[in-house]
Structure 1
Amino acid sequence: MASGMCGSILVTGSNRGIGLELVRQMAESPSPPSQIFAGCRNPDGPNAKDLKELAQRHQKLITIVCLDTSSESSVREAAKQVGSRLNNGALNLLINNAGINVPGTLSESGQKEMVDVFVTNTVGPMLVSKEFLPYLKKAAAQLGSQEMSCRKSAVINISTLLSSIEKCHTNFAFAPMYPYRVSKAAVNMLTRCLAEDLKSDGILVTAIHPGWVQTDMGGSQAPLPAEDSVKGMLKVFANLTEKDAGNLLDWEGNPIPW
């Protein structure tokens, strides 16, 4: 469960898979956060059914927000909506989870595939971090004496082992996905840039690999249930400190080389 998590939290891409499980476990924790904002591209669509049912069970805790990370106007509007509902105008934790993948061997990948995946997986987290930054800064200022942590003010970018340039030769044949790999390698650089840019504000920025998870994206052959992945990640989140800023860790807290 979400031990050590508190304050206000935003999760993007929360209508299914890892995002939905993050919201569920945090909401059902014995010590839940004070607010959970669940970003979803189409809250009224069929893919949001499970999220809406979860929010109905936790009406005082979960707020569903229309948030399409591939649309700059959608991100701006979501930031306004969330900002108007935040306790004291402060957001303690932003989890940039929304992401897509497409069949992406070299022969299958063209400009459209590369750009579409990059916009959602890389530009999206940058836009969300930018628009929600005033609320993250406010949280950091309110808890200025505390060390960097997810309880104070933090951005978590969901990345992947497949983003590692150093590890590419060990797993490329298994997953030759050009758009996904390239976009997530860029997420790692985004994480490093944000970590450097925001450290003076006391905001922690870290990237996390959730494992190969049994989701629509991960597929049925994946060895790791979403419940176990999220349980592990939440433990990692609760123990992150300044030493983890700008790094890529896996769901058990182990470092992954760039």
Structure 2
Amino acid sequence: MTGGHVSTVMVTGANRGIGMELVRQFAEMCHPPERIFATCRNPQEDRMQELKKLAAKHPNIVIVKLEVTDEESIRAAAKEVEAHLAGKGLNLLMNNAGVMPPSTLESVTQEDMLDVCKIDLVGPMLVAKEFLPLVKAAAKQSKEKGLSCSKAAIINTSTIGSSIGNPPSMNTFPVISYRCAKTALNMLTRCQALEYKDDGILCAAIHPGWVKTDMGTQKAELEVEESVRGILNMLSKLAEEHSGRFLNWEGKFVAW
């Protein structure tokens, strides 16, 4: 991130893919955040070894247990983060955790749609709601004018597949539940921007690109390192005119 310095950041779904790479690149900045909260459902899982190694190398990384569909887990995580912050606010909340199971209009079931919406839409809503006091505190403590990610921001990971104005074909993106959930997440982002503007909080949705991760598969066009470099560069440039908008990893506006 080349712009304003982010003192504290939290990334959900940090045990793999884009989430882990966000944590890695935040930690490896010339002037990294004082605290990087990397959340995951189960810190004791075997696949957590890479994140644990990263945390051992960078003492500013704090691994926090958080299940985005469990309100009790979210409340416990918020209390843990608040204790680590010791009176400081949370500058940047990145709702990154999500799932993308394959489904078409022919194959999708009620359970598919509800399960994906619970994780990809309701989860970010509950996390933002519970951590809002800490984000508001960051905005109040900041001396910056206007809106920025270094002051206070909620960033929701969306997808080009959620676009109603310019959607990719179902043949190339057959994940109907995921697309619908993320379209609703875009509206949540818009509502958050409207509601929290007077609190000094920037809210935006981002499309990270089609990335080579477990979710994106190896057929994807973009390496995760390149996507995250673009995201961090884009975040550093976000200002009031970007709040309530949908942008891609290159900082270009995406049609709702």
TM-score range, shorter chain: over 0.9
1:151 aligned residue: 150
Which runs of 4 or more aligned residues in structure 1 lie more than 3 Å from their structure 2 counterparts after TM superposition? 1-5
Task: Establish whether residue 230 from structure 1 lines up as the match of residue 228 from structure 2.
Answer: yes
1:82 aligned residue: 81
Deviation (angstroms), 1:210: 0.2
Deviations for 1:63-114, whole angstroms, at most 9, x for unmatched residues? Answer: 0000111111111110111011114231000000000011111232111111
2:172 aligned residue: 174
Q: Which amino acid aligns with 1:215?
A: T
SS of 2:137's equivalent?
helix
Deviation (angstroms), 1:177: 1.3
Deviation (angstroms), 1:145: 4.6
Aligned 8 A contact 2:17 2:214 in 1: yes
Task: Establish whether residue 73 from structure 1 lines up as the match of residue 41 from structure 2.
Answer: no
Deviation (angstroms), 1:122: 0.3
How many Å separate the matches in 2 of 1:224 and 1:81? 35
Two-structure CA RMSD over aligned residues (Å): 1.2
Q: Which amino acid aligns with 2:191?
A: C
Deviation (angstroms), 1:10: 0.3
Task: Establish whether residue 29 from structure 1 lines up as the match of residue 29 from structure 2.
Answer: yes
Q: Give the TM-score normalised by structure 2.
A: 0.97
Deviations for 1:214-242, whole angstroms, at most 9, x for unmatched residues? Answer: 00000001010000000000000000001
How many Å separate the matches in 2 of 1:203 and 1:108? 40
2:42 aligned residue: 42
How many Å separate the matches in 2 of 1:249 and 1:32? 24
- Superposed counterparts of 1:58-137, under 5 Å: 58-59=58-59, 61-137=60-136
How many Å separate the matches in 1 of 2:16 and 2:157? 15
SS of 2:69's equivalent?
coil
How many Å separate the matches in 2 of 1:113 and 1:64? 30
How many Å separate the matches in 1 of 2:202 and 2:3? 18
SS of 1:55's equivalent?
helix
Q: Specify every segment of 5 or more residues in structure 2 that has no aligned partner in the other structure, as ranges.
A: none
2:251 aligned residue: 253
Deviation (angstroms), 1:48: 1.3
Q: Give the TM-score normalised by structure 1.
A: 0.96
Q: Specify every segment of 5 or more residues in structure 1 that has no aligned partner in the other structure, as ranges.
A: none
Distance 1:91 1:241, change over 3 A: same
2:194 aligned residue: 196
Distance 1:211 1:15, change over 3 A: same
Q: How many residues align?
A: 256
Percent identity among equivalent residues?
Answer: 50
